[in-house]
Protein backbone atom coordinates (compact mmCIF):
# COMPACT_ATOMS: atom_id res chain seq x y z
CA UNK A 1 0.00 0.00 0.00
CA UNK A 2 1.37 3.43 -0.86
CA UNK A 3 1.05 6.48 1.36
CA UNK A 4 0.63 10.16 0.51
CA UNK A 5 0.99 12.93 3.08
CA UNK A 6 -0.84 16.27 2.89
CA UNK A 7 0.67 19.09 4.96
CA UNK A 8 -1.73 21.99 5.55
CA UNK A 9 0.54 25.04 5.98
CA UNK A 10 -1.69 27.76 4.54
CA UNK A 11 -2.84 29.34 7.81
CA UNK A 12 -1.90 32.86 8.82
CA UNK A 13 -0.85 32.13 12.41
CA UNK A 14 -3.00 34.85 13.97
CA UNK A 15 -2.56 33.54 17.51
CA UNK A 16 1.21 33.29 17.08
CA UNK A 17 1.32 36.95 16.07
CA UNK A 18 4.58 36.83 14.05
CA UNK A 19 5.15 38.94 10.94
CA UNK A 20 5.20 35.87 8.67
CA UNK A 21 2.51 33.17 8.31
CA UNK A 22 3.19 30.49 10.94
CA UNK A 23 4.76 27.79 8.75
CA UNK A 24 7.43 30.27 7.58
CA UNK A 25 8.52 31.35 11.06
CA UNK A 26 12.09 30.40 12.03
CA UNK A 27 12.76 27.55 14.48
CA UNK A 28 16.49 26.81 14.38
CA UNK A 29 17.68 28.52 11.22
CA UNK A 30 15.03 26.45 9.46
CA UNK A 31 11.36 27.35 9.16
CA UNK A 32 8.60 25.39 10.90
CA UNK A 33 7.67 24.05 7.43
CA UNK A 34 11.20 22.78 6.70
CA UNK A 35 11.48 21.02 10.07
CA UNK A 36 8.03 19.46 9.57
CA UNK A 37 8.81 18.15 6.08
CA UNK A 38 12.19 16.81 7.27
CA UNK A 39 10.33 14.87 9.97
CA UNK A 40 7.96 13.34 7.43
CA UNK A 41 10.84 12.35 5.14
CA UNK A 42 12.87 10.95 8.06
CA UNK A 43 9.92 8.84 9.19
CA UNK A 44 10.22 6.92 5.91
CA UNK A 45 6.48 6.33 5.51
CA UNK A 46 5.71 8.77 2.69
CA UNK A 47 5.68 7.88 -1.01
CA UNK A 48 4.57 11.43 -1.84
CA UNK A 49 4.26 14.71 0.10
CA UNK A 50 2.05 17.68 -0.83
CA UNK A 51 2.49 20.94 1.07
CA UNK A 52 -0.36 23.48 1.00
CA UNK A 53 0.68 27.11 1.55
CA UNK A 54 -0.70 30.66 1.18
CA UNK A 55 -0.88 31.52 -2.54
CA UNK A 56 1.64 34.37 -2.28
CA UNK A 57 4.23 32.09 -0.66
CA UNK A 58 4.24 29.27 -3.21
CA UNK A 59 7.61 30.29 -4.69
CA UNK A 60 9.15 30.74 -1.25
CA UNK A 61 7.90 27.31 -0.18
CA UNK A 62 9.27 25.67 -3.34
CA UNK A 63 12.69 27.06 -2.44
CA UNK A 64 12.44 25.88 1.18
CA UNK A 65 11.17 22.35 0.43
CA UNK A 66 12.24 21.68 -3.17
CA UNK A 67 11.67 17.91 -3.06
CA UNK A 68 7.91 17.95 -2.42
CA UNK A 69 4.85 19.25 -4.28
CA UNK A 70 3.65 22.73 -3.25
CA UNK A 71 0.13 24.02 -3.96
CA UNK A 72 -2.04 26.94 -2.82
CA UNK A 73 -4.46 26.56 0.09
CA UNK A 74 -7.85 28.06 0.89
CA UNK A 75 -9.45 30.31 3.48
CA UNK A 76 -10.26 27.43 5.84
CA UNK A 77 -8.10 24.48 6.85
CA UNK A 78 -10.49 21.96 5.30
CA UNK A 79 -10.26 23.79 1.95
CA UNK A 80 -6.48 23.56 2.16
CA UNK A 81 -6.73 19.81 2.84
CA UNK A 82 -8.96 19.38 -0.22
CA UNK A 83 -6.45 21.31 -2.36
CA UNK A 84 -3.83 18.85 -1.11
CA UNK A 85 -6.06 15.87 -1.91
CA UNK A 86 -6.57 17.14 -5.48
CA UNK A 87 -2.83 17.61 -5.96
CA UNK A 88 -2.00 14.19 -4.50
CA UNK A 89 -4.11 12.41 -7.11
CA UNK A 90 -5.50 8.90 -6.87
CA UNK A 91 -2.30 6.82 -6.63
CA UNK A 92 -2.20 6.50 -2.83
CA UNK A 93 -4.31 4.04 -0.81
CA UNK A 94 -3.42 5.71 2.51
CA UNK A 95 -3.48 9.47 3.03
CA UNK A 96 -2.08 11.20 6.10
CA UNK A 97 -3.00 14.79 6.94
CA UNK A 98 -0.35 16.44 9.08
CA UNK A 99 -0.35 20.06 10.31
CA UNK A 100 2.82 21.99 9.49
CA UNK A 101 2.30 23.55 12.91
CA UNK A 102 3.36 20.24 14.55
CA UNK A 103 6.97 20.05 13.31
CA UNK A 104 8.49 17.87 16.07
CA UNK A 105 6.38 14.70 15.70
CA UNK A 106 8.55 11.59 16.25
CA UNK A 107 8.76 8.94 13.53
CA UNK A 108 7.12 6.43 15.88
CA UNK A 109 3.84 8.39 15.74
CA UNK A 110 3.81 8.36 11.93
CA UNK A 111 4.43 4.61 12.02
CA UNK A 112 1.64 3.93 14.53
CA UNK A 113 -0.86 5.87 12.44
CA UNK A 114 0.13 4.19 9.16
CA UNK A 115 0.17 0.75 10.84
CA UNK A 116 -3.34 1.39 12.18
CA UNK A 117 -4.71 2.12 8.71
CA UNK A 118 -2.80 -0.82 7.23
CA UNK A 119 -4.36 -3.03 9.92
CA UNK A 120 -7.78 -2.20 8.48
CA UNK A 121 -9.02 0.92 10.29
CA UNK A 122 -10.39 3.55 7.87
CA UNK A 123 -9.34 6.44 10.14
CA UNK A 124 -6.58 6.55 12.77
CA UNK A 125 -5.54 9.53 14.91
CA UNK A 126 -2.85 9.97 17.57
CA UNK A 127 -4.10 11.08 20.97
CA UNK A 128 -2.93 11.61 24.54
CA UNK A 129 -4.70 11.30 27.88
CA UNK A 130 -5.68 14.66 29.35
CA UNK A 131 -3.70 15.69 32.44
CA UNK A 132 -5.75 18.65 33.65
CA UNK A 133 -9.10 18.44 35.39
CA UNK A 134 -11.71 19.47 32.82
CA UNK A 135 -14.76 21.54 33.74
CA UNK A 136 -17.70 22.50 31.59
CA UNK A 137 -18.72 26.15 32.04
CA UNK A 138 -21.71 28.26 31.08
CA UNK A 139 -20.25 30.33 28.21
CA UNK A 140 -23.13 32.79 28.27
CA UNK A 141 -22.00 34.21 31.60
CA UNK A 142 -19.22 36.65 32.48
CA UNK A 143 -15.90 35.84 30.81
CA UNK A 144 -14.01 37.08 33.89
CA UNK A 145 -15.63 34.45 36.14
CA UNK A 146 -17.53 31.70 34.27
CA UNK A 147 -19.93 29.51 36.25
CA UNK A 148 -19.04 25.80 36.34
CA UNK A 149 -21.77 23.47 35.10
CA UNK A 150 -19.99 20.12 35.54
CA UNK A 151 -16.65 18.35 35.92
CA UNK A 152 -16.09 16.11 32.89
CA UNK A 153 -14.73 12.56 33.25
CA UNK A 154 -11.27 12.95 31.70
CA UNK A 155 -10.54 9.19 31.75
CA UNK A 156 -12.56 8.76 28.57
CA UNK A 157 -11.10 11.84 26.82
CA UNK A 158 -8.07 12.12 24.52
CA UNK A 159 -6.35 15.24 23.18
CA UNK A 160 -6.02 14.58 19.45
CA UNK A 161 -2.95 15.42 17.38
CA UNK A 162 -1.79 14.89 13.79
CA UNK A 163 -0.78 13.07 11.60
CA UNK A 164 -4.29 11.73 11.06
CA UNK A 165 -4.38 8.73 8.73
CA UNK A 166 -7.17 7.55 6.43
CA UNK A 167 -7.85 5.23 3.60
CA UNK A 168 -8.09 7.54 0.60
CA UNK A 169 -11.71 6.51 0.17
CA UNK A 170 -12.56 7.46 3.79
CA UNK A 171 -10.88 10.87 3.53
CA UNK A 172 -12.66 11.63 0.25
CA UNK A 173 -15.99 10.67 1.81
CA UNK A 174 -15.25 12.75 4.93
CA UNK A 175 -14.53 15.83 2.83
CA UNK A 176 -17.43 15.36 0.44
CA UNK A 177 -19.81 16.91 2.97
CA UNK A 178 -17.96 19.62 4.88
CA UNK A 179 -20.32 22.11 6.43
CA UNK A 180 -17.39 23.80 8.13
CA UNK A 181 -18.03 22.73 11.73
CA UNK A 182 -15.40 20.02 12.33
CA UNK A 183 -12.00 21.14 13.68
CA UNK A 184 -10.12 18.17 12.25
CA UNK A 185 -10.36 15.66 9.42
CA UNK A 186 -11.33 12.83 11.76
CA UNK A 187 -14.25 14.98 12.93
CA UNK A 188 -15.52 15.12 9.35
CA UNK A 189 -15.10 11.34 9.09
CA UNK A 190 -17.05 10.74 12.32
CA UNK A 191 -19.92 12.86 11.05
CA UNK A 192 -20.40 10.61 8.05
CA UNK A 193 -20.32 7.44 10.13
CA UNK A 194 -16.71 6.37 9.55
CA UNK A 195 -15.08 4.60 12.54
CA UNK A 196 -12.14 6.56 13.95
CA UNK A 197 -9.53 4.86 16.18
CA UNK A 198 -7.01 6.52 18.51
CA UNK A 199 -3.40 5.30 18.82
CA UNK A 200 -0.90 6.74 21.33
CA UNK A 201 0.32 10.22 20.42
CA UNK A 202 3.41 11.95 21.78
CA UNK A 203 4.06 15.16 23.75
CA UNK A 204 6.42 16.24 20.93
CA UNK A 205 3.45 16.25 18.56
CA UNK A 206 2.16 19.43 20.24
CA UNK A 207 0.90 22.20 17.97
CA UNK A 208 2.66 25.54 17.80
CA UNK A 209 -0.24 27.92 18.32
CA UNK A 210 0.95 30.67 20.69
CA UNK A 211 4.30 32.42 21.37
CA UNK A 212 4.71 30.08 24.36
CA UNK A 213 4.53 27.01 22.09
CA UNK A 214 7.09 28.57 19.73
CA UNK A 215 9.45 29.10 22.64
CA UNK A 216 9.09 25.45 23.73
CA UNK A 217 9.73 24.20 20.18
CA UNK A 218 12.85 26.35 19.83
CA UNK A 219 14.10 25.19 23.24
CA UNK A 220 13.54 21.51 22.39
CA UNK A 221 15.49 21.90 19.15
CA UNK A 222 18.29 23.87 20.79
CA UNK A 223 18.59 21.32 23.60
CA UNK A 224 18.44 18.08 21.66
CA UNK A 225 20.04 19.41 18.48
CA UNK A 226 18.09 16.67 16.80
CA UNK A 227 14.41 16.21 16.20
CA UNK A 228 12.16 13.34 15.29
CA UNK A 229 13.80 10.77 17.61
N1 LIG B 1 -4.18 25.78 7.81
C2 LIG B 1 -4.26 25.75 6.41
N3 LIG B 1 -5.17 26.54 5.77
C4 LIG B 1 -5.96 27.38 6.45
C5 LIG B 1 -5.89 27.42 7.87
C6 LIG B 1 -4.99 26.59 8.53
O7 LIG B 1 -3.53 25.00 5.77
N8 LIG B 1 -6.80 28.16 5.78
C9 LIG B 1 -3.16 24.95 8.49
C10 LIG B 1 -2.16 25.79 9.30
O11 LIG B 1 -1.15 26.31 8.44
C12 LIG B 1 -1.67 24.80 10.33
C13 LIG B 1 -2.85 23.84 10.50
O14 LIG B 1 -3.76 24.11 9.44
O15 LIG B 1 -0.53 24.08 9.90
C16 LIG B 1 -3.52 24.00 11.86
O17 LIG B 1 -4.12 25.29 11.93
P18 LIG B 1 -3.81 26.37 13.06
O19 LIG B 1 -2.89 25.84 14.09
O20 LIG B 1 -5.10 26.98 13.47
O21 LIG B 1 -2.92 27.46 12.23
P22 LIG B 1 -3.34 28.90 11.76
O23 LIG B 1 -4.72 28.87 11.20
O24 LIG B 1 -2.24 29.37 10.88
O25 LIG B 1 -3.29 29.73 13.13
P26 LIG B 1 -4.42 30.73 13.72
O27 LIG B 1 -5.70 29.91 13.83
O28 LIG B 1 -3.86 31.17 15.03
O29 LIG B 1 -4.54 31.84 12.69
MG1 LIG C 1 -6.41 28.38 12.48
Residues 174, 192 contacting (CB under 8 angstroms): yes
The mean pLDDT of the chain is: 95
Residue 147 lies in a domain: no
Residue 229 domain-assigned? no
Ligand 1 centroid from CA 102, angstroms: 11
Range of the domain at 27: 3-127+158-224
pLDDT of residue 228: 60
The distance of Cα 98 from the centroid of its chain, to the nearest Å, equals 4
Q: In this model, does residue 179 exceed pLDDT 80?
A: no
Q: Check residue 224 and give its pLDDT.
A: 78
User: How sure is the predictor about 196, in pLDDT bands with cuts at 50, 70 and 90?
Assistant: very high
Mean pLDDT to the nearest integer, 8-32: 98
Atom number, ligand 1, closest to the C-alpha of residue 21: 24
Residue 213 scores a pLDDT above 80 = yes
Domain count, the chain: 1
What was the pLDDT predicted at 141?
Answer: 75
Q: What is the pLDDT of residues 95-122, one digit of tens each?
A: 999 999 999 999 999 999 999 999 999 9
Residue 151 lies in a domain: no
Q: Closest-lying ligand to the alpha carbon of 21?
A: 1
Give the CATH number of the domain where residue 72 resides: 3.90.550.10
- Express each pLDDT in 40-78 by its tens digit: 999 999 999 999 999 999 999 999 999 999 999 999 999
Is-contact 162 80, C-beta < 8 A?
A: no
| Dihedral over Cα of 186, 190, 193, 196: its sign | positive
Contacts of residue 109, Cβ cutoff 8 Å, sequence gap at least 6: 126, 161, 163, 200, 201, 202, 205
* Residues with C-beta less than 6 Å from any ligand 1 atom: 8-15, 22-23, 52, 73-77, 80, 99-101, 207, 209
For ligand 1, mutation pick of 20, 96, 101 (most atoms within 8 Å of CB): 101
Would the pLDDT of 180 be above 70?
Answer: no
Residue at 13 is within a domain: yes
Q: Which residues contact 172 (CB under 8 A, 6 or more apart)?
A: 85
Confidence of residue 24 (pLDDT cuts 50, 70, 90): very high
Q: What is the pLDDT of residues 131-142, one digit of tens each?
A: 999 999 998 877
Among the ranges given (69-83, 117-131, 155-169, 177-191), the one the predictor scored with the smallest mean pLDDT? 177-191
pLDDT above 60 (res 229): no
Predicted confidence at residue 143, as pLDDT, reads: 74
Give the integer Cα–Cα distance in Å for 41 and 192: 31
Q: Residue 39 falls within a domain, yes or no?
A: yes
- Establish if 136 belongs to a structural domain: no
- CA-closest candidate to residue 97, choices 13, 182, 190, 161: 161
Residue percentage of the chain with pLDDT more than 90: 90
Q: Which of 7, 17, 18, 22 to mutate to test the pocket of ligand 1 (most atoms within 8 A of CB)?
A: 22
**Quick check: is 146 in a domain?**
no
- In the predicted structure, residue 220 carries a pLDDT above the cut 60: yes
Assigned domain for 102 exists: yes
Amino acid sequence: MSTGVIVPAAGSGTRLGEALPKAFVDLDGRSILEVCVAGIVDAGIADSVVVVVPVDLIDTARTLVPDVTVVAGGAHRSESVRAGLDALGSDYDIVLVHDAARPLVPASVFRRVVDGVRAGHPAVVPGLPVADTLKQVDPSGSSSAERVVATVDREVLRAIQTPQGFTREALLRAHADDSGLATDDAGLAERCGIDVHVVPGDPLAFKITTPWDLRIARDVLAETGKVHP
